[in-house]
């Protein structure tokens, strides 16, 4: 099998390190792996397949000869290096939001729209983590009848804010239990024993940037330009794995039985739906793996064209790193 020269931009962050793990787990045909980060990280090492790889400073020249670049850096870094990556002839699979809504850049969830990846012009975007998890859960319904609207609430783990999110949760938990004051730094308020109903910055009509991603990205990924989504994003005191409550309204009614059957067969999904036996998706069960668990499927009592469900998925893996590697696998398959 052909071997590929792969680079990870932002290799020292949580997503970058997870990309390394997943490349190894999935036995991706890596001939050479280059780990790129800021100048302050250059010279340090990370382990891949039992070998120590020296981290290199990210420069325009660092991408020469690469076949695939996995992006795990923030928007400014992605925008800074995208031209050099494309010029080098590599395909940039970018996890930032920098290019997601660019009409010339495919936005891919491999279980949903893998064919769109073929239209890339050197850049492919990875969607928002909650968007990936939610759409993976509901796409089987869209195949039964087009989705017209969704009302969603996302319950996002602290690790979604980076490696320091869970650290702050643990430190605050210890402080509260010891009767000591908390000192929030990562989050605007204490997250231990609390919920914060705001993720992202103010956007439109009282919605945040994070909340608008579900509609904007959902339209592009599922090819549903008229899709409407009302979303509320909530930070919760959970270490890992995002959860989403979503009510889906379709063009034609779909029964609960039809939904369960379709989701049970859907790529990337696992049906966990037995209320009587207390079986339903939970963050503890869905962390450190790549399947989206779906359950609590029931009729929407306000609309006979609606269904309500609950889903959970690991936002660092399927919501970011794994989805990016799966996109790279599409490129290799071609």
Does residue 287 register a pLDDT over 80?
Answer: yes
Query: What is d(CA 334, CA 330) in angstroms, rounded to the nearest whole number?
Result: 6
Q: What are the backbone dihedrals phi and psi of residue 48, each rounded to the nearest 5 degrees, phi first?
A: -135, 120
231 is catalytic: no
Does residue 248 register a pLDDT over 80?
Answer: yes
The active-site residue, picked from 34, 231, 233, 242, is: 242
The mean pLDDT value of the chain amounts to 97
Predicted confidence at residue 23, as pLDDT, reads 98
Q: Do domains 4-127+320-333 and 131-315 have the same CATH topology?
A: no
Predicted confidence at residue 165, as pLDDT, reads 96
Centre a 10 Å sphere on the Cβ of residue 39 and count the other Cβ atoms it contains: 10
Q: How confident is the model at residue 334 (pLDDT cuts 50, 70, 90)?
A: confident
pTM exceeding 0.85: yes
End-to-end Cα separation, the chain, in angstroms: 13
Q: Please, is 35 exposed, middle or buried when counting C-beta atoms within 10 Å of its C-beta (0-12, 13-18, 19+)?
A: buried
Does residue 136 register a pLDDT over 90?
Answer: yes
Residue ranges of domains in the chain:
4-127+320-333, 131-315
Would you say domain 131-315 falls under CATH 3.40.630.30?
no
The CATH code of domain 4-127+320-333 reads: 3.40.50.720
Q: How confident is the model at residue 1 (pLDDT cuts 50, 70, 90)?
A: confident
312 is catalytic: no
- What is the arithmetic mean of pLDDT over 46-70? 96
**How are beta strands 306-313 and 242-250 bridged, if at all?**
antiparallel
- What is the arithmetic mean of pLDDT over 24-30? 97
The per-residue DSSP string of 251-318 comes to SS---HHHHHHHHHHSTTEEE--BGGGTB---HHHHTTS-PEEEEEEEE-TT-TTEEEEEEEE-TTII
Strand partners, 249: 149, 306
The active-site residue, picked from 129, 231, 269, 311, is: 129
Q: How confident is the model at residue 177 (pLDDT cuts 50, 70, 90)?
A: very high
């Amino acid at each position: 099998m052909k071997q590929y020269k792969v680079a990870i931009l932002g290799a020292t962050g949580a997503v970058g390190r997870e990309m390394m793990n997943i490349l190894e787990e999935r036995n991706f045909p890596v001939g050479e792996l280059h780990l790129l980060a800021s100048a302050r990280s250059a010279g340090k090492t990370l382990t891949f397949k039992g070998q120590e790889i020296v981290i290199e400073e990210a420069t325009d020249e660092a991408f020469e000869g690469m076949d695939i670049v996995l992006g795990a850096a923030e928007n400014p870094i992605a925008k800074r290096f995208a031209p050099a990556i494309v010029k080098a002839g590599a395909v940039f699979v970018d996890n930032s939001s920098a290019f997601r809504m660019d009409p010339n850049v495919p936005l891919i969830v491999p279980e949903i729209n893998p064919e769109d990846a073929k239209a890339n012009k050197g850049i492919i975007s990875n969607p928002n983590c909650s968007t990936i998890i939610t759409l993976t859960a509901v796409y089987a319904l869209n195949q039964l009848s087009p989705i017209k609207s969704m009302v969603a609430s996302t319950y996002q783990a602290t690790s979604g804010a980076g490696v320091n999110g869970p650290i702050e949760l643990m430190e605050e938990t210890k402080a509260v239990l010891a009767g000591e004051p908390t000192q929030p730094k990562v989050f605007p308020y204490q997250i231990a024993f609390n919920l914060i109903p705001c993720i992202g910055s103010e956007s439109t009509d009282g919605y945040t940037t994070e909340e608008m991603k579900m509609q904007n990205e959902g339209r592009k990924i599922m090819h549903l330009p008229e899709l409407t989504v009302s979303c509320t994003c909530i930070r919760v005191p959970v270490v890992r794995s995002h959860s989403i409550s979503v009510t889906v309204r379709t063009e034609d009614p779909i029964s609960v039985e039809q939904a369960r059957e379709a989701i049970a067969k859907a790529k990337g999904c696992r049906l966990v739906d037995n209320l009587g036996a207390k079986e339903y998706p939970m963050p503890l069960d869905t962390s450190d793996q790549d399947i989206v668990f779906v359950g609590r499927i029931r009729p929407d009592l306000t609309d006979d064209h609606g269904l309500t469900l609950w889903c959970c998925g690991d936002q660092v893996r399927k919501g970011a790193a794994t989805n990016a590697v799966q996109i790279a696998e599409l490129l290799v398959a071609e």
